[in-house]
Amino acid sequence: MLTYEDVTGCFLKAANNTALMTHPEYWINSRSLEREFAATCHAGSCEEAEHRSTCTFSFTWGALDTSLSLDGPDGVCDFFHEPEDDCPHLHTRDIPPLVVDLSYSLVLNGAGASISETALLSLVQLLKLRASENSSRANETRPGISMTLHENRLQPEVLTLQQRVELPIWHPDGMRSLHDDHHSHTERGTRHSRRAIDEEIEEDEVAADNPRPEDWLPQVMADVCQDILQVLESLDAVRSHGSLNMDA
């Protein structure tokens, strides 16, 4: 079973091993009882942080995530209704993953006023390309520009990148690992049958009903942290190489 503490702890450990500085925050939504986590990350020392790009790693963990982590597709049934052998939930490959949002920002520190619109758009596309090339786990990258009103005119203030990482919280192989044979479809109606299946599985096999996150989550988080570090370096290179001063 994968837990909120597993994900947060594994990320912070991987970030430390990657030389990423993190500033974590933890919340709980008193109405939905969802648990939220966000950590602002940057390379280098905290004293230099204001001169560097940053990344916020965040996700929300709800009751459905716990149910999916514990029971897989059976957890969908248990969450919404009484389980039945012929329920479509037990035969689907669309088990929702845990979505992690990565939000990067590069403060222009006033340099945006001297950049032409054409050069700014070229710079944003370049950053998107570099971020995509350096991201092995993210499945989408969306660039953006935050504007500010200065002396009655809008000027760029922050360059942003949004990425999403999907973690298969039920099984390390994601949807490809679900229901490899039809026989397994009919034996998941009760917890007793799941225990019986687990007992028959060899100890060294990572089976769908026993995902063992300690076997695969550390490497996934190590990949994510390495991606974050490389994207941050790409953003910082923009400032250090004087790209912000280019003109069209």
Indicate whether 164 pLDDT > 80: yes
Q: Per residue in 21-66, pLDDT tens?
A: 999 999 999 888 899 999 999 998 888 888 889 999 999 999 888 8
Angle of CA points 62, 165, 38, to nearest 5°: 55
Q: What is the pLDDT of residue 224?
A: 94
Q: Which domain holds residue 225?
A: 4-245
Query: How far apart, in whole angstroms, are the C-alpha atoms of residue 161 and residue 124?
Result: 9
- Between 242 and 217, residue with greater pLDDT: 217
Find the mean pLDDT for residues 145-155.
77
Indicate whether 242 pLDDT > 60: no
Q: Per residue in 218-239, pLDDT tens?
A: 998 999 999 999 999 888 887 6
Q: What is the pLDDT of residue 211?
A: 59
């190489």: which residue's tokens? 241
Query: How far apart, in whole angstroms, are the C-alpha atoms of residue 22 and residue 9?
Result: 12
Residues in CB range of 45: below 8 A, 6 or more apart: 21
Helices (H) and strands (E) in the chain, counts: 6, 6
- 63-72, 144-153, 170-179: which has the minimum mean pLDDT? 170-179
- Between 216 and 18, residue with greater pLDDT: 18
Number of domains in the chain: 1
Q: Per residue in 91-142, pLDDT tens?
A: 666 677 889 999 999 887 765 556 667 777 777 888 888 888 888 888 888 8
Strand partners, 163: 102, 141
Q: What is the pLDDT of residue 127?
A: 82
Q: What is the pLDDT of residue 94?
A: 66
Share of the chain above pLDDT 70, in %: 69
Find the mean pLDDT for residues 181-189.
38
Find the mean pLDDT for residues 82-93.
69
Q: What is the pLDDT of residue 226?
A: 94
- Between 20 and 129, residue with greater pLDDT: 20
Mean pLDDT in the chain? 76
Indicate whether 198 pLDDT > 90: no
- CB neighbourhood size of 45 (10 A): 9
**pTM for this prediction:** 0.76
